[in-house]
Amino acid sequence: MLSENTQTYSVTRNACKLCTPLGASLAFKGIRGAVGFLHGSQGCSTYIRRYLISHFKEPIDIACSNFGEETAIFGGGANLKIGLENIRKQYDPELIGIATTCLSETIGDDVPMFIREYKELHPDEILPPMVHVSTPSYSGTHIEGFHAAIMATVDSLASASSPDPDSDKNVSEKGVNIFPGMLSPADLRHIKEILRDFGVPFVMLPDYSQTLDGPLWSEYQKIPSGGTNISDIRVMGSACASLEFGRVLAEKNSAGKLLQKRFNIPCHSLGMPIGINETDKFFAAIESATGKSTPKKYEEERGRLIDAYVDGHKYISGLLAAVYGDPDLVVGLASFLSEIGIIPVLCASGGKSGCLQAKLSEVVLPDYAEKEICVLDGGDFIGIETEAKRLEPDIFVGSSKGYSVSRKLNIPLIRAGFPIHDRIGGSRILHVGYSGAQQLFDRIVNTVIEKRQETSSIGYSYI
C-alpha cells in the first residue's frame, strides 16, 4: 500500500515524438555536401537511417562513432577521431554535422574538445567545417534536435559579409533568410517558388527538397546533390530580414533570433503558413521586409481557396478533429481547421514546450475558451486514445504513428507531417501556402464524404 508521501509517475507509452538526434540528422541533410555523424552506438544511426528512409524513400547515410562496452566506460574520443578521418576519406564532405546521442551525453564526453584535438592533429590541412550539436533524447524531441542543429550551424558559420566578394553565390544585402522548420520537401520547394515569384534573393536553411526527394540516379551518389550552400550560410548575417516558421519556436532561442542579436537583422517569427490566416501573415512579412507586392498569381490562388471553402463548407462545418504531431505543426493545423469550420477538439504533442495551449488560443478563433479544447502538451498515444474516446472526434489529423488509434476507434486519419510510413508520397505532401491549404482541404472533405458513403446503408453515388 502506498504511503501518503509516495510519488506516482506516469510512464510515456508509444510516444508522440521521436529521438532528438533524428531531428539533427534530418537538418544536416539540408546542407550541401554535408555528412551527418552521430557520436554514439551503431544502433542509433541504424534506427534513424531506417526511420528516415521509410518516410522519404531515399537512401540516407549517417555515420557513427560506433560505441561499444569499452567506449562506454573509457569515453569515445578515439572513436570520434577515427570516424572523422574515415568520413573525410570516404565522402570528402563540405561539412560534418556531429550530433550526440544519449550514451555519449550520459558518460559526459567532451565533444568540442575532441574536435579541437582532431584539428590539432591536422595543422596543415584544410578541414571541412565541423558543427557540433548536443542532442540527448532524454531531454528533448526530434523537433528540438532539428532546430538545435540549425542554430548550431548558423552560430558556427554565419558572418556579416561574404569572404569572397566576387563569388556569384553571395547573398545580396537585400535578400532574406528563411528558416522553414521541419516541413516536407514539397513544402520547401513551394516556399522557394513563392520567394522567387516575389523576386527576392534568399537563403533557406535547411533545404532538403532535393537531397531527400530527388530524381532517379543512374549510379549511387555518396552525397546527394542539393542543399543550402555553405557559402550562402556564411553570409546570412548580411540579409535584410529573417523569416522563421513556428509560434512555439518563437518562445525559444532560434537561428533567426541569434542573427538578430549578433547582426541586428530583424527576425519575423511567424506561424507555420498553413491555411489562409497564417499564409496571409507570411506574405505580409515578405512585403514588409522587402517592400515588394504579392504577385497576382497568389491573390488568385487565395481566391480559389476561399471559393473551395464555400463549396465544401456543408460537408465539414461543426465536425470535431483530433490533431497531433510537432507543436508548431499542430498549431498550424489547428488554425487551418478552425478557419474551415472544424473544431480541433483535441490537440496533442510529445514536446513539453509549456506554451502549446497559449499558442493555440491565438489561432483557434474567435471563441477558443468556449470550444473547451483538450490540449496534451507532452502527451503520448495512450493519452490521445483516452481523450479521443471521451471527445469522439470525427477525424484524426497527423502522422502514421496515430494509425493504430484511428483504426481501433474507427475514425479516419488524414495523414500530415512526419513520419508517414504506411503510404507512398510522405515527402510530397504539401501543407503550406494557399496551394497546400487547398490540397489539405480537398483531402479532408473527400475523407469525410468517403466515410459517409462507406457507412451508408444505401451507398449514395451523389452526395
Q: What is the pLDDT, as a whole number, of residue 172?
A: 41
The cell numbers describing 375, all together, are 490540449
Whether residue 343 is predicted with pLDDT greater than 60 in this model: the reply is yes
Vertex 180: Cα angle to 175 and 186 (nearest 5)? 105
CATH architecture of 20-156: 3-Layer(aba) Sandwich (3.40)
The residues with which 321 forms a beta bridge, in sequence order, are 395
DSSP 36-65: EEEES-HHHHHHHHHHHHHHH-S---EEE-
Closest CA to 129 of 156, 89, 110, 99: 156
pLDDT at position 325 over 70? yes
CA distances from 124 to 119, 121, 434 (A): 9, 9, 52
Query: Tell me, what DSSP letter sits at residue 205?
Result: S
3-state secondary structure of 181: coil
Interacting residues of 21 by C-beta distance below 8 A, sequence separation 6+: 38, 40, 44, 48, 99, 100, 101, 135, 137, 145
Q: At residue 100, what is the residue type?
A: T
pLDDT at 174: 65
| CB contact at 8 A, 46 and 68 | no
pLDDT band at 256 (very low <50, low <70, confident <90, very high): very high
Residue 149 banded pLDDT, cuts 50, 70, 90: very high
| Beta strand residue intervals within 180-264, DSSP E | 202-204, 241-245
Q: What CATH number was assigned to the domain covering residues 176-296?
A: 3.40.50.1980
Question: Where along the chain do the CATH 3.40.50.1980 domains lie?
Answer: 20-156, 176-296, 311-455
The residues, ordered by sequence, that sit 6+ positions from 86 with a Cβ below 8 Å of its Cβ are: 63
The pLDDT of residue 460 is above 90: no
Q: Which phi and psi (to 5°) does residue 264 adopt?
A: 60, 40
Q: Do 80 and 114 meet the contact criterion of CB atoms below 8 Å apart?
A: yes
- Range 254-271 average pLDDT: 96
Cell of 48: 534513424
Report the pLDDT value the prediction gives residue 167, as an integer from 0 to 100. 44
Q: Which residue has the higher pLDDT, 4 or 95?
A: 95
Give pLDDT tens digits for 154-204: 999 998 765 444 444 443 446 999 999 999 999 999 999 999 999 999 999
The answer to whether the beta carbons of residues 37 and 98 sit under 8 Å apart is yes
* Predicted pLDDT of residue 160: 76
**By three-state DSSP, how is residue 213 classified?**
coil
Of 2-6, 197-201, 374-378, 410-414, least confident by mean pLDDT is 2-6
pLDDT digit string (tens) for 102-130?
989 999 999 999 999 999 999 999 999 99
Mean pLDDT throughout 209-234? 95
- Reported pTM: 0.93
Number of CB atoms found within 10 A of residue 235's CB: 27
Q: Decide which of 3.30.750.24, 2.60.40.10, 3.30.70.20, 3.40.50.1980 is the CATH code for 311-455.
A: 3.40.50.1980
End-to-end CA distance of the chain: 59
C-alpha cell at 1: 500500500
